Amino acid sequence: MIQFNSKGLKEVRVRGNNIILEYEGNKLAYRTYISEYGRAMKIANKYKEVDMKQIGTVSSYFDKAKVAALKLTGDLLVGDKIKVIGSTTDFEQEVTSMEINNKKVKVAKAKDDVGIKVTEKVRKKDKVYIV
């Protein structure tokens, strides 16, 4: 079985029985077997960033309030559709509520620390994409 390291992974492509992993500009190709093709496709779909741009990372999660604290690297608006991806996290949702320093806001800019209401549990270091 082939082990995949997702740290620094930028892109995954599947061509036939091959999976191509791109790490920070370096391309590495691995040969997969037919029995592993389904797993390779699942990984490719999970890390595929076509039509998605990373806009932040989860810095904390507050379970009782179901709120995620995000460190933004891009702009975020209330009403935007986001996708959260991590080692055990993978879901999409619309941003319905957002706060900065306990004040409701409709727009957040890159480098802001924001809190958003989430529909599922997230974990520290999960990546947040705009869909």
| Spatial contact of 104 and 112, defined as CB atoms under 8 Å apart | no
The domain limits of the chain are 9-47, 53-130
User: Which pLDDT score, from 0 to 100, does residue 53 have?
Assistant: 83
pLDDT in tens, 52-67: 788 999 999 999 999 9
If phi > 0 it is left, if psi is from -120 to 50 it is alpha, else beta; for residue 25 that is left
> What is the C-alpha R_g of the chain?
16
Choices 1.10.150.110, 3.40.190.10, 2.40.30.10, 3.40.50.970: CATH for 53-130: 2.40.30.10
Neighbours of 109 (CB within 10 A): 12
Residue 101: half-sphere exposure toward Cβ, Cα within 13 Å: 1
Q: Give the span between the Cα atoms of 92 and 84, in whole angstroms.
A: 6
Q: Which is nearest to 11 in space by CA: 92, 2, 24?
A: 24
Give dist(CA 54, CA 128) in Å, integer. 6
Average pLDDT on 91-109 reads 94
This prediction has a pTM of 0.63
Q: What is the DSSP letter of 80?
A: -
Residues 74-89: pLDDT tens digits?
Answer: 999 999 999 998 888 8
